[in-house]
Structure 1
Amino acid sequence: MRLVIARCSVDYDGRLTAHLPSALRLLIVKADGSVLVHSDGGSYKPLNWMSPPCRLTEHPAAGDEPGKWTVTNKAGETLTITITETVSDTSVDLGIDPGLVKDGVEAHLQELLAEQLHLLGDGWRLIRREYPTPIGPVDIMCRDDSGAHVAIEMKRHAGIDAVEQLTRYLELLNRDPLLSPVQGVLAAQTIKLQARTLAEDRGIRCVVLDYDAMRGIVREGTLF
C-alpha cells in the first residue's frame, strides 16, 4: 500500500463530473489498483476514488508545471489528481490479509443460504462457500438454473460498502474465461436504499433474507 500526503486538487470525469479544490489530503494506492482520496474528516469514506481494475499514470512536476496523476478505469472514466506539494510518500507491504471474521449470525446466514439456494431460484447449485480469490473469499459461489456462475455476498445489514466489495469480486472473477460471465447477488437481512440503488445500477440483484424463517422459526401471530 502506498500512502501519499499531498496538497492537491482532484477532478473526476465519468458518468458525472466532480471537482475538489486544492487542499492537503491523503492519497491511498492499494495493491489491487484502487486509488482513494481522503480528507481528515468524513469518517472512513473517501472524498473520491477509483475502483479496480484501473490504470495509474504519473506525470512528475516539471518547472512551473505541477505533478499530476491520471487514473483511468475500463469504462474510460478518469480521476485526475493535480499535486502542488508532496509532504510524504511511503509504501508498505501489508502481506496477505486473513479476511474478515464474521459474527455468529452472519456466518449462520451463509450456512443456511448455502443449504437453501432454492430461495434464490429453482435449480440453483452450490459450488463452494468461502470461494477463494486473490482479494478475499466470496461468501458463496454457485450456479443458477441456466448454469451461469453467481457470486453471493452475505451481510446482516448491507450498505454501500457491501456493494463495492461485491463489485470488486465480480470485476476480478469476470476476468477468468472459465467463470465469466459471473452475476452478483447481495443477500442480507436489511439493505439500505442507497446500497440497493447502487447495486441495481450495476446489475447486482438484491435479496432480503428472513433469518427466523430460514431457521424454521414461526413468529407468533402468523397463520402460515
Structure 2
Amino acid sequence: MRLVIARCQVDYAGRLTAHLPMATRLLLVKADGSVSVHSDDRAYKPLNWMSPPCWLIEDGNLWIVENKAGEKLVITIEQIIDEVKHDLGAEPGLVKDGVEAHLQELLAEHITTLGEGYTLVRREYMTAIGPVDILARDADGGTVAVEIKRRGEIDGVEQLTRYLELLNRDPLLAPVRGVFAAQQIKPQARTLAEDRGIRCVTLDYDKLRGIESNDLTLF
C-alpha cells in the first residue's frame, strides 16, 4: 500500500472525460495495481480511480495510469507533501459476527420467512467477488439473492447491488432479484434498496430461534 499526499490535478480520458483542478488530495496505490484519488470530504468513495488490471508509469511529476481498454488517468503533481509505503500482507477476509452468521443459518432453515413457496438453493453461494449469503428460489422459480446483516446500512445495500450485477450476467440464474434482510434497517438504506428494486425484510431473531416474544399482545 502506497499513500501519497500531494497537490495535484487529475484528468481522466476514456468512455467519458473528467477533470479535477489542482488541489491537495490523497493518492492511493494498492498492491493489486489499482490507483484511486481521494479528498477529505467523500467518506470512503474516491473522486476518481482506475481498477486493475492497469499499470502506472511515473515520469517526473506526471503519473499516467492506463488499463487494457486504453482508458487513462493522468495525474499532474505540483507538490508531494508526504508519502509512505506499507506492506499489509495477506487479507484473511471478512469474518461475520456470531449473530449475523446465526441469522444466516436460521433463515436458511426457515426460508419461507421470506414468503410462501420459497426454497433454498444454497448458503454462501460463491461469486468472483465473494459469497452471497443465501441463494433461493421464489414461488415462481425465480432466483433470489439474499444479503443478511445484523444492522442494515447503506454499505450492505451496495454490497448486494454488486452481487446482483454479477449474478444477472449468468443466463442460468438471470433474472436475479435481491432481498436485503436484517434485524434493523436504517431508513437511508431502505430508501436506497427500494430505489434499486431490492426488497427489504426485517428479521426477528428470537422468532427465527423459536422463542416467543415476552411483549404483551392483544391477540
Output the CA distance in 2 between the equivalents of 1:195 and 1:68.
37
* CA RMSD between the two structures: 4.0
**Structure 2 counterpart SS, 1:218:** coil
Match of 1:148 in 2: 142
Aligned pair partner of 2:114 in 113, 120, 124: 120
Q: How many residues align?
A: 207
Whether 2:214 is the aligned partner of 1:219: answer yes
TM-score, reference length from structure 1: 0.70
**Structure 2 counterpart SS, 1:23:** strand
Whether 2:75 is the aligned partner of 1:83: answer yes
Output the CA distance in 2 between the equivalents of 1:144 and 1:69.
45
Match of 1:46 in 2: 45
Sort the Cα spacing of 1:211 and 1:179 in 2 relative to 1 into closer, same or farther, 3 A. same
Paired residues of 1:28 and 1:37 also in contact (CA < 8 A): no
Match of 1:74 in 2: none
Paired residues of 1:60 and 1:68 also in contact (CA < 8 A): yes
Sort the Cα spacing of 1:112 and 1:56 in 2 relative to 1 into closer, same or farther, 3 A. same
1:61-84 per-residue CA deviation (whole Å, 9 max, x = no partner) reads 99x9x767799xxxxxxxx96622
Match of 2:99 in 1: 105
Sort the Cα spacing of 1:84 and 1:50 in 2 relative to 1 into closer, same or farther, 3 A. closer
Residues 48-197 of structure 1: pairs in structure 2 closer than 5 A:
48=47, 83-85=75-77, 98-197=92-191
Output the CA distance in 1 between the equivalents of 2:197 and 2:115.
17
Output the CA distance in 2 between the equivalents of 1:196 and 1:68.
40
Paired residues of 1:135 and 1:169 also in contact (CA < 8 A): yes
Paired residues of 2:147 and 2:156 also in contact (CA < 8 A): yes
Identity of matched residues, %: 53
1:25-52 per-residue CA deviation (whole Å, 9 max, x = no partner) reads 2346796x9875434x56962254679x
Paired residues of 1:8 and 1:81 also in contact (CA < 8 A): no
**Structure 2 counterpart SS, 1:183:** strand
Residues 14-53 of structure 1: pairs in structure 2 closer than 5 A:
22-27=23-28, 37-39=37-39, 41=40, 45-48=44-47
**Structure 1 counterpart SS, 2:112:** helix
Match of 2:15 in 1: none
Residue segments in structure 1 that go unaligned for 5+ positions in a row:
72-79
Sort the Cα spacing of 1:198 and 1:68 in 2 relative to 1 into closer, same or farther, 3 A. farther
Residue segments in structure 2 that go unaligned for 5+ positions in a row:
13-17
